[in-house]
Chains A and B, each alone.
Chain A
Amino acid sequence: MSETLLEVKDLRVQFQVREGVVQAVDGLSFDLKRGQTLGVIGESGCGKSISARAILQMIPRPGKIVGGEILYHRRQNFNGTSETIEVVNITQLKPDSALIREIRGGEIGMIFQEPMSSLTPVYSAGYHIGEATSLHRLTPVRKIGDQIAETIAAHKKVTKQEARALAVEMLRKVGIPNPEQRVNSYPHQLSGGQRQRVMIAIALSCQPAMLIADEPTTALDVSIEAQILDLMRELQSSIEMAILFITHNLGAVAGMADEIVVMYMGKCVERAKTADLFRDPKHPYTRALLQSIPELGRKSRARLASIEGMVPDPLHLPTGCVFHPRCPAFMPGKCDRLAPQWKQVGDEHWVSCLLYEEQ
C-alpha cells in the first residue's frame, strides 16, 4: 500500500499567449502512493485540470511543461511474487511517443466531466480515432461496446472477440443493466449517469494503476453522483488503484480522498490529510473556501462568509503571496512583498503562508 506510484516535483506549465505568459501551474509538488486517493481542490482556473493533463502529456496548445518532473513508477513483469520498478519521467516523453501512449489509457486511466458535452459531431464512424480521443470522450456514432473493446485491444494483446467479451464484463462491473444488449447501444441512448459509467468502464478496462478523475460528477445529479462515487470506491478496492480526484465539490472530495491538495492560481497552498484539512485548515484561502459553502444542516438564512474580490488576472499576478489582495489575514508590508515558502505545520500537513513562517 505504501509504495510510491507517482511523484510530481516542482511542475511548471506555461501558456504563451499573445498578451504574455500565463503560469498555469507554478511549482506544484505532490506524490501519490499505490491505492491512495489524492483530492485536488480549487476554483476554476487554478490549474488543477492542467496538472492532470500534464501527467498524461495531454496539455492543449499553446501550453508547455517548462520545468519540473513527473516520475511515474512503472511496474514491470509483475507476476505476483517478483517485480521490477522502472521510473519514467513523463515530462521527458514526447506527447506522441509509444511509451506515453502505452501508459495513457493503459496504466493511467482518465475520466472527465460529463462526456457528452465534449462531443464533436464531426467525428464520423472511423477506426482511426486516436486513443487520446477515445480516452476522454464517447464518440456519438459508435456503439459503446466497440469503444470499450477498442481501448482494451489497443493495450492488450487480445482478439476482437475477447475484447468484446471483456467489454461486456466491464459494463456489468460498473452496474449497467443488461450489458449483453447495452453493449450495442449508442451514447445518446444512455442517460448521463450511464454514460459516465461507460466512461469509467473504458478507463478501468485495462486495470490501470492510477485513475485521474477530473470533475467526474460535477454535471450529475446528487443521487447519480452518490452512485458514481460509490462505484469508484468499490472498484478502487478491488484492483489496488490510486485515484487523483480533481473537483471543486468539497463535499464529494471529503468522502473520497485520503489526502487533499488545495490549489490557488497554479500554486499549491495547502496539503493535509482529509480529516485534518477539514477540521483544522491552516491557510486563509482554505478556511474561506470551507466557510463559503452552504452546508446542509447549518442554520438557514445566515450570512455566508465569502472571499472578497475576484481571482486575479493570470497575466498580472499580484506580488508576494498571490492570495494577499483577497486575504482576511493580510499583513501589509509582508504578504505583498515576500513569496511564502512551503512549510510543514503538523503531521503530514504543509502550508504555504507567511502566517506560519515566524515560529
Chain B
Amino acid sequence: MTSLNNVLLDVRHLKKYFPIQTGLLRRTMGYVKAVDDISFVVREGETLGLVGESGCGKTTAGRALIRLYEPTAGEVWFNTRALSADGTPETVNLLELQPQALKAVRLEIAMIFQDPINSLNPRMTVADIIAEPLHIHSRYRQPESEELIVRLIERVGLRPDHLRRYPHEFSGGQRQRIGIARALALHPRLVICDESVSALDVSIRAQTLNLLQDLQDEFQLAYVFIAHDLGVVQHISDRVAVMYVGKMVELAEAEELYNLPLHPYTEALLSAVPRTDPGSQPERIVMQGDVADPANPPGGCYFHPRCRYAKEICKQTTPEFREVKPGHFVSCHFAEELQLRGV
C-alpha cells in the first residue's frame, strides 16, 4: 500500500470469519469466511464505493471496520485527532485500542444505515435522536448543542418544528435525512454508508445522493459507500472496490473501473445492469449458477465456476490481489491478457 499523507483509513488484510456451530456442544464445524483478507485505503474527503452482490461480505466489511463485528484478523489504521488533547493527528490501529480509546476515536466515525425506520428509536423525538451521540460522548452543552441540532436539521432539509416529532411521522426519505443528521452530530471525518439509499424511491434517492455530496464538500467527509447498485456507486464514488464472496476482486478509480474493468466478474456485473436507453444495452454476459457459498467456496479463484475465461490454473491457484496499473488492483491470473468490455 502506498503511504500518503492524507490517508485517513488504511485497512490491511481484514478478515471476519463466523463460526458454524452445530450440535448440543456447539462444536465449530467450519467457518463462513464473510470477509476474507481485504486491504484498501480511504483518503481524506474521498468516497470509496464498495459493490458486490448480496452475501459478498460488503456489509460485514463495513461493520468490521469499526468493530461492530470483532474482526478475526487484520489491521485497521485510522488517522485520528481525538486521542490527544490538542488534536494532533496520530495513526492508530483500531483493532488494538482499549474500549475507552476506541470510544474516543469513534467520535470521528459515523454510520448511516440502510433501513431508516429500524435504525431510529421509535420512542425518541427527532431532537433526542440527533442529540444522543452528543450525550453518549458527554459533549452535550446548553445552548450550543441545541443550536447545532437546529442547524443540522435545517442542513438536511427538514424544519426545526420537526424536532419534536417522532420517527413514524416521517416518510422514508425524511427518516433517512434524520439518520444523516444524527451521523453528522459529532463532526465525523469518516462516514460509513451501508446501503443508505437503497430503500428509497428514485426521486428521493436523487435528493439524498445530492445531499450526501453537498455535505461531503462542506465538511470534508470521507465516505465508505456500500451499495449493490452500480449506477449509484459510480455516481458518488471517487474509487470503487468490487467484492465477491468475501474477497476484493478489483479496486480502481471509478472512471477506470467502469470503462476498463480488468476482472471478468466486474465485466459481467456491468453488462448485466439494465440501461434506460433502448439500444445501448450491450450484449449481456450471463453468469451461470449462483454466487458461491462462503462456507464452502470453490478451490482456486472463487469466481472460476461462473467465469467464461476460466482456465486450468483458475481451479488450482488462488490469484493474488495485485496492482496491475498504478492505482488499479485486481485479483485475476489473466488481468494483463484479457480484453474486457466496460460501459
Contact = CB atoms under 8 A, between A and B. Distances in A.
Interface in A287-318: 288-290, 292-298, 300-308, 310-311
Contact of A296 (B209, B270, B291): B270
Given A194-B290, A254-B278, 13 more contacts: A192-B54, A221-B291, A222-B228, A223-B272, A223-B286, A225-B272, A251-B273, A275-B279, A292-B206, A301-B213, A304-B206, A306-B210, A311-B171
A190 to B, nearest CB: 10
Interface stretch (A1-9, A30-38, A226-234): A226-234
A248 B202 contact: yes
B19 interface: no
Interface string A94-108: 000000000000000
A304 B53 CA distance: 25
A295 B275 contact: yes
Interface residues of A, number: 46
Please give me the 8 A-B residue pairs with the lowest Cβ-Cβ distance, nearest first: A251-B274, A294-B235, A306-B206, A292-B206, A307-B203, A226-B272, A221-B53, A297-B343
Interface in A243-264: 248-252, 254-255
A300 B290 contact: no
Given A227-B286, A292-B205, A293-B202, A300 B275 contact: no
Contacts of A306: 203, 206-207, 210
B273 A44 contact: no
A292 B290 contact: no
Interface of A: 43-44, 191-194, 221-227, 229-230, 248-252, 254-255, 274-275, 278, 288-290, 292-298, 300-308, 310-311
Interface in B87-102: none
A230 B281 CA distance: 13
B22 interface: no
B34 interface: no
24 contacts: A221-B53, A222-B269, A223-B286, A224-B290, A225-B274, A252-B274, A254-B275, A275-B279, A278-B276, A289-B203, A295-B276, A296-B230, A296-B234, A296-B275, A300-B238, A300-B255, A301-B213, A301-B235, A301-B236, A303-B210, A304-B209, A304-B210, A306-B207, A307-B206
Given A294-B235, A300-B235, A255 B278 contact: yes
A309 to B, nearest CB: 9
A307 B173 CA distance: 12
Interface string B75-111: 0000000000000000000000000000000000000
Interface in B178-207: 201-207
Nearest to B230: A296
Given A292-B202, A304-B209, A307-B206, A221 B258 contact: no
A251 B272 contact: no
A43 B201 contact: yes
A179 to B, nearest CB: 15
Contacts of B205: 292
A288 B210 CA distance: 15
A226 B171 contact: no
Contacts of B232: 294
A227 B235 CA distance: 25
Given A223-B287, A295-B231, A255 B274 contact: yes
Contacts of B209: 294, 304
Nearest to B343: A297
A229 B275 CA distance: 13
Contact of B290 (A193, A226, A293, A308): A193
B201 A229 contact: no
Interface string B274-301: 1111110100101100110000000000
A230 B203 contact: no
Given A248-B202, A275-B278, A293 B269 contact: no
Contacts of B234: 294, 296, 298, 300
A295 B235 CA distance: 8
A221 B238 contact: no
B114 interface: no
Given A292-B206, A305-B206, A298 B235 contact: yes
B268 interface: yes
A248 B172 CA distance: 16
B237 interface: yes
B222 interface: no
Interface string B301-343: 0000000000000000000000000000000000000000001
B235 A310 contact: no
Interface string B211-235: 0010000000000000010111011
Contacts of B213: 301, 303
Contacts of B238: 300-301
B256 to A, nearest CB: 11
A290 B286 contact: no
A297 B273 CA distance: 11
Given A251-B275, A296-B270, A300-B254, A226 B202 contact: no
A222 B277 contact: no
A294 B207 CA distance: 12
A311 B171 CA distance: 9
Given A221-B228, A230-B286, A289-B203, A255 B275 contact: yes
B181 to A, nearest CB: 17
A308 B238 CA distance: 26
Contacts of B255: 300
Contacts of A278: 276-278
A227 B286 CA distance: 7
Nearest to B270: A296
A274 B258 CA distance: 26
A334 B57 CA distance: 53
A225 B269 CA distance: 11
Contacts of B254: 300
B231 A249 contact: no
